[in-house]
A and B are shown apart, each in its own frame.
Chain A
Amino acid sequence: MMRSLLTLLAALMIWAVPAMAQQGGPLRLEITEGVIEPMPVAVPDFVADTPAAQELARNIARVIAADLTGTGLFREIPAAAHISRITSFESPVQFSDWRAINAQALVTGAVNVDGAGRVVVRFRIHDVFAGQELGQGQQLVGDRDGWRRIAHKVADQVYARITGEGGYFDSRVVFVSESGPKDQRAKRLAIMDYDGANVQFLTDASSIVIAPRFSPTGDRVLYTSYETGFPRIYLLDVTSMGRRALPTLEGTMAFAPRFSPDGRTVLYSLSQGGNTDLYSMDILSGASTRLTTAPSIETAPSYSPDGRQIVFESDRSGTPQLYVMDAGGGEARRISFGAGRYGTPVWSPRGDLVAFTKQSKGRFHIGVMRVDGSEERLLTASFLDEGPTWAPNGRVIMFTRETQGAQGEARLYSVDITGRNLRQVPTPGGASDPSWGPLQN
């Protein structure tokens, strides 16, 4: 009897406690499902403080909008839909007008060109529905010729303020520019803004160049050239355009270079006597250290962001797979186990992922996996996708896609690590082997 009473009391308590909790406290809900769609953002033309800044004000706003929408995370509301016009940077924003067109973020700014010809840009970011400013307004000053960089920097600030992660718009990409038919293709090193603007050629087409790699500071480029008949590694200063070949042994082939995070060491592959192994070289002294001694082919090394580990490609298991080992050498740990061939691994700037090229069932893929080999995701698939490189924020990957056939051409593409927002990067002609540089100062 007593036991039954206790059971009844317990049941009553179980029933009554939640009811009492709701009676006394706030209503509690858990939201676990949302939507994934681009955020509507309005970027009206910036206000020109002087007539000379009229065109700049409009162009800067257009570049900012293009940067934001190019990420796939934002959707610009066209100017024709705007109700309010921003005529003064200092005037209060009529949030109701922007709310009415469902703009969730609003970027306003003003451009001035001072007497010295410098461009001064002020901007603010607004949360429309909250009716308040996101952060504080900022001001950027630069040369008139560098107005695009100013626009990219504004876009970086907007991106970082809304998404919570760093931007990548004020960055450059070095790549191999290709021209001519497939069997006589001319290759030159080129550098451009991340969005394909401001292309500059670093080398001529007299020799084949491949696999350029930016230094961590973005002022130097390593690349492999066949100008001597054998592949050899060169170091190019982007500013002065001066270059020098890194020391190597006669009768050997050196290729696939990559900077260490501190920019002092170069990892590369050296082929000698039919065997290819990994080496590291101190750039100043030119001294090399052998890291692997296996009879198999080890190549395409890449440092982790902290410089303590190396991910590379090896066929020691019979097929090309990905391995990780300490930066000083030692035992390697295989991390790729899927069906197919893996190659060209690149460690993410965040350190959490490794991007790679995968060949499986006659198709090529760009994919990512965790550094322990788990959670492999293939982001692309085509006749030939290869050579991934990470954006500075670790959110976007750029790679080479080559089309099939005699008229096939290599182009650069970018994709979000979610696999969405696949876009072609505009380049003058064919392009391959991209290497994404850091954010510029």
Chain B
Amino acid sequence: MNTGQIISGAGHLALIGWALFGGAFRSDPPPFEVVEAMAISAEDYAAILAASTAPEAVASIDTPAPPAPGENAPALASGADTAPAQSQPAANAAPPPDPVPSPPEPVSAPAEVADTAPEVAPPAEDMAAVVPQVSPRPQPRPAPRVAPEPVAPSEPDVRVDDVARPEVAPDAGAVVEETPQEATAPEEAATEIVTEAERPRDPAPTASPRPRARPAAARPAPAPTPAPPTETATAPRPETPRDTPPATDRSAVSDALAAALGQGTPTPERPAGPPLTAGEKDALRVAVQRCWNVGSLSSEALATTVVVTVRMFETSKPDISSIRMLSHSGGSATAAQQAYEAARRAIIRCGNDGFSLPPEKFGQWRDIEMTFNPERMRIK
């Protein structure tokens, strides 16, 4: 053991001893308040308690002497109490009886009710809502001139030339070639002066007449009123001039005639009209399906889809000569021919009496392209 270790051990022991016994771990007590107390006996304590709780008894109280009776007695002003008289509300007087209303003067009823409805004169021209005014087309302003003579052009502005040139006159007898030119167009003129106040109104209609109402159904003749028998000569009823059928009626008649003759009317260019509704398309589809008989087709033809085009007459009948096969898929040319013939038969058979198609939409169904797909009909 070397010296260093001894010294170190001694030092540590000294340090530990100082820590234990030297008060290194002793802490000072917290400061406290010191109050002086005094010891007393039980009797003293009870006396102290009694003095602090019970008030001191009063020996005597000075009270005034009561007045003697009859001495300076106040005179009573009021007499004996009486019950107050309660004032009752005055009863309302009975209301005067209501005056008996005088019965209204009977309105004189019409003597008899006519069975015939009153004749209502139809409006001569039932006008619908006024069409909003649109900006009229510009029209040439009438020139406020009467005479058609052209006006001589105004003199051009005279200007002093910067360069003085000698006068050059054409040789006498020289031929001057003049290029032909059109004569000046006369200024636009009218036959009379028209002022704005006198300007004619816009020729465009500002209101559209409603369609004419259907003629009233024939009403039963009113019961004949007994009348004195008089011999009257029956005047011949004047023949009412037959109304000329409107153009649409004439067209319908001609269409019906063409349909009856098995002919179609030519198909002029017309507005297409609104597209066919799904229901209208379905009706056409069902009509063709009803006649599409694939029972006699070969297996290969039943696997062939053909696209067929057909042009329709306005009578909703197909133009047989226009039926063509546009394309086919899924089979040979022979099978496609059989499938096409079956499709053509379907169109012709069920179109023989005309398909149910809206005539106002003729432009939409004038040309029809039908795809005949027998996939669902095929034998699996």
- The interface of chain A, by Cβ under 8 A from chain B, is 19, 22-23, 25-39, 73-74, 99, 104, 127, 129-131, 134, 162-165, 375, 395, 417-418
Contacts and interface: CB of A to CB of B under 8 A. Distances in A.
A73 B299 CA distance: 13
A375 B380 CA distance: 7
Contact of B301 (A19, A34, A163, A417): A163
Contacts of A19: 275
Contacts of A30: 285, 370-371, 373
12 contacts: A22-B364, A27-B281, A27-B368, A32-B374, A35-B289, A35-B290, A35-B295, A36-B295, A39-B293, A39-B295, A74-B296, A129-B344
A189 B52 CA distance: 154
B341 A127 contact: yes
Contacts of A130: 320, 341, 344-345, 348
Contact of B309 (A26, A39, A99, A104): A26
A164 B338 contact: yes
B348 A29 contact: no
B344 A37 contact: no
A34 B338 contact: no
B296 A34 contact: no
Interface of B: 272, 275-276, 281, 284-285, 288-301, 309, 320, 334-335, 337-339, 341, 343-346, 348-349, 352, 364-377, 379-380
A30 B368 CA distance: 11
A129 B300 CA distance: 23
B172 to A, nearest CB: 74
B352 A99 contact: yes
Contacts of A164: 297-298, 300-301, 334-335, 337-339
Contacts of B364: 22, 27
Contact of B292 (A27, A34, A127): A34
A131 B296 contact: no
Contacts of A73: 295-296
B289 A33 contact: yes
A220 to B, nearest CB: 30
A104 B290 CA distance: 15
B84 to A, nearest CB: 89
Nearest to B304: A164
Given A35-B292, A35-B294, A164-B338, A131 B320 contact: yes
A28 B296 contact: no
Nearest to A368: B379
Given A22-B364, A35-B290, A29 B284 contact: yes
B314 to A, nearest CB: 14
Contact of A39 (B275, B284, B296): B296
B124 to A, nearest CB: 40
Nearest to A134: B341
Contacts of B275: 19, 22-23
Contacts of A23: 272, 275
What are the nearest 4 A-B pairs in CB distance?
A164-B338, A34-B292, A26-B367, A165-B298
Nearest to B365: A27
A162 B352 CA distance: 21
Nearest to B275: A22
Contact of B379 (A28, A99, A418): A418
Nearest to A24: B272
A37 B295 contact: yes
A216 B335 CA distance: 26
Given A19-B275, A164-B301, A31 B295 contact: no
Contact of A26 (B290, B341, B346, B369): B369
Given A26-B368, A74-B296, A163-B301, A33 B276 contact: no
A35 B350 CA distance: 13
A129 B342 CA distance: 11
Nearest to A41: B296
Nearest to A418: B379
B320 to A, nearest CB: 7
Contact of B299 (A28, A35, A165): A165
B260 to A, nearest CB: 14
A164 B332 CA distance: 10
A29 B292 contact: no
Given A29-B370, A39-B296, A74-B296, 15 more contacts: A26-B366, A32-B373, A32-B375, A33-B377, A34-B289, A34-B292, A34-B293, A35-B290, A35-B294, A39-B293, A130-B320, A162-B338, A164-B297, A164-B298, A395-B298
